[in-house]
Amino acid sequence: MPATFSRKRGDIVYMPHLQAYHRPENLEQALQLLAREGVRSAVVAGGTRIVPTLKGVDEVVDLQRIGLDEQRHGADSLSLGALVRVQSVVDDERAPDLLREVARREGPNTMRNQGTIGGAIVAPRAESELLAALLVYDAAVTVQTLGGAHPMSLSEFLADVQGSLRGGIVTDVALQTGGATAHTRVARTPQDAPIVAAVARRDGEGALHLALCGVGERPLLIAPEEIDDLQPPADFRGSSAYRRQMARVLTERVLAAL
């Protein structure tokens, strides 16, 4: 495997030696490529997060020709194909305002026009307010394999991404968009990624859905009474105790706003 040297940090960065690049025409072809024994493949959707996943990979399977880019609206529902661009959600005037706002915060314009909803789910970021919003919209993910479709909640999927994929491909995510929502955050600057963020929805039956960012390895659904049990990871932006206290404060704010 060839290596390059980083002058900035003095680190040796190993570049992958890929043996093949595939661009299948449909989902069936993509699944057949992924099902081959003894071939380590990486899946590309928008490609914005592919580089960190290439270590130890033999081949790349690019999904950009297989479709999966439809946005289907119902009275209180929204279905997003896995290859819907994040910017398409920002631009969708029929989508909930909260979803459009957190999609806008998923990254700069150039990344949003390339990155996909499926990519945000399969390569989750701990600070993704988009994922937090999908969680409170009771998102259900469909993973397609050669053996059939496997629906599951987004929360279940995020708990074990690789196990949930099982050699398959995320094809769509379905949301329940009815009810009232609220969102708040704390960050170093208005445009920075949140240190902690809270997203909440009270659905048409009065049930509360609350998700937090910045208190774990991924955004998570949580009940307000469980916040005191959190042990958030600390970094230069905030200690574990600070993040837990912000989770309490932000939760109080979104609940008051509902």
DSSP at 135? H
d(CA 24, CA 33): 9
- E strands along the chain, which residues? 3-5, 12-14, 20-22, 41-44, 59-62, 71-73, 77-81, 140-145, 148-153, 169-176, 180-186, 196-202, 208-213, 220-221
pLDDT at 51 over 70: no
Cβ 171 vs Cβ 67: under 8 Å = no
More confident residue, 174 or 19: 174
What is residue 5's predicted lDDT score, i.e. its pLDDT? 38
Edge-to-edge strands of the sheet including 220-221? 180-186, 196-202, 208-213, 220-221
Residue range 112-120: average pLDDT? 93
What is residue 13's predicted lDDT score, i.e. its pLDDT? 53
What is residue 8's predicted lDDT score, i.e. its pLDDT? 46
> Based on the number of CB atoms within 10 Å of its own CB, is 207 exposed (0-12), middle (13-18) or buried (19 or more)?
exposed
d(CA 112, CA 100): 12
pLDDT band at 41 (very low <50, low <70, confident <90, very high): confident
Percentage of the chain surpassing pLDDT 70?
91
Which amino acid, residue 175? L
Cβ 136 vs Cβ 22: under 8 Å = no
What is residue 9's predicted lDDT score, i.e. its pLDDT? 47
Mean pLDDT of the chain: 90
What is residue 59's predicted lDDT score, i.e. its pLDDT? 87
DSSP at 230? -
